[in-house]
Structure 1
Amino acid sequence: MLSERTRALLAPADPARGRPVPPPLLAAHDLIVKAEQEAGDTTRRAPRVGRRLVLASAAALAAATAVAAVHRDHDAPATLPTGGGLVVRPVAYAIPDHPPAAANHLRELADRIGDAPWDTETGLYTFHHVQEWGTFGAGAEDGRYYKAAVDDHYNWFAADGAGRWVWKHLPAQYRDEASRAYFEAHHDFLDQRADSQGNSAPWNRPPLPTGTAALSSVLDVAEPSNVPDRLTKLYTDYAVPRATRAQLLRLLAGLSGYTWRGPVLDRAGRAGVAVTYQPPYDYQELLIFDPGTGALLAHETLSEQGTASVSRYVLILETRLTATTR
């Protein structure tokens, strides 16, 4: 997975490697009270998520902040700017309750998809711009408070694995208002991470699988809960061609437990269609597809049945073929 490669490549230079996170000097309750006294009541519960969708401003898009969650009382973006950072909120679903099975919708999508930009391009390198939040974070008070950096990845890789990568660390985002208040009172190792870049030597990089049997094996369709991560890896490793994108959608349609959430906006403000998977555990997987090309735009994991908080998100912001690593 992308997160595993990130940890492996960053480990030698990671300033936080081997450093424990110091315990808070005050109890959680005292910290929240202190934050409220200094900055006003910043730990109010957010309004409940509603059904309307809003677009982010051009400035928010340029900063890769999120859009698409809306509240019953007033509109608000899915990544909400606050005094000291960004609070991540769940993306709003067009069908929030009692969603239908996704199978027929996914098959219809597979039948009508068109070309993606990379379908008509040529080039030695496959380029991806991916943003990921939640895989490298700081928790406190037995997980009650959580923040994570936004890792901004630019990767150029040839078929043999040779290429170049640039990884930037954008400002941290918070799971909720209480987490923001807590961590504003405590500096931690995430504030010390530095940007990095480098070159990749050739290695035995496997080609993109083709055919139903090979794709079923790579996705691990025998275990539906593994499919979202496996699918995300394919889309962050390869420029998936049109025929393969259609095969992937049809394979997903054949799995149980996947439901249709209808049109949504992802955290970059792009229009998509959403599918969720609810395993027999206390979390939910969200996949957002481009309705025109069938390509994966975003993958999110939500805790507590998808109603409480976002645990992780991945945005695939750009994929293309290019002749250079610039």
Structure 2
Amino acid sequence: MTIRTTLLATAACALGLPALADEVNVYTTRQAFLIEPVMEAFTRETGIKVNLAFIEKGLVERLKSEGDRSPADLVMTVDIANLNQIVEADVLQPVDSAVLEAAVPEALQSPDNLWFALTTRARVIYASKDRVADGEVTTYEDLTDPKWKGRICTRAGVHDYNLALLAAVIAHDGAEKARAWAEGVKANLAKKPEGNDRSQVKSIWAGECDISLTNTYYMGAMLADPDQKAWAESVRIVFPTFEGGGTHVNVSGIAMTKAAPNRDAAVKLMEFLVSPEAQAIYAEVNHEFPVLEGAKRSDLVASWGDFTPDALNLTELAKLRPTALKIMEEVGFDN
């Protein structure tokens, strides 16, 4: 598959042109270079072409507008909040596949088979190599310890990544303890929450704070960027756990639209994406963790060490997002 193919497919989707029987049309919020390698592998194996339409914003609105005339067979996006938004828009159909159900852990798939995770990313702590000792922080609850006062950086508390983490705190400890946790972390902030995850690591490198909440895959992205490599090399990844739980994870996932003009081919693609070959390719390009047990991690991702993912079902966490948002706003986390 070439960029030209992708652009032609995008145009066809925009015009609502019918898809060919040997093609699959995918709407994705992930940029083409992140998923083209695994799609090319699928085409080599099956002869089925994959047309990618990159939709940065307005994905749900577009699917609702197109309705049963949509040329999209599949939707690929990241974060449980986004997946749940698509579910609530009622534009998906369930996929009953023994292959998918066996490959994807139960906590990482929709109970009604509306979406399946393809990779995971952990919400972890990036700690200064110079100013934070090994073992000094091991749990999410540790972040409220007064010893971290003025030493924590994070992006906005109302960002999806942090809301998902707070939803997990609610699920483990209840809303009142989650509120106390948010207040405790806020009290320890070195500065007002702002910027993205990478800028938090830059702040550690610059000495503005000592630890940050950041997703794992940003380490790979920063190491590959000459302008950011020094930031990445100034920190190490710590996989914190909840007391009595594991490390909080989120997902990239895939779902089938109700319209799906090429349903059989789309199912083949979904099943291919959880195969050992595809899991290794997709996870390596994105610096993420495969969902298939035993699938090969990239050497870089493997170098970060092993961890135990939290067992909470992500669908349940999505239901707690409104409560998490309310808490963040009430404690004035971003003020």
Compute the TM-score of the two structures, normalised by the length of structure 1: 0.24
* Larger strand share, 1 or 2: 1
Higher relative contact order (CA 8 A, sep 6+): 2
* Larger helix share, 1 or 2: 2
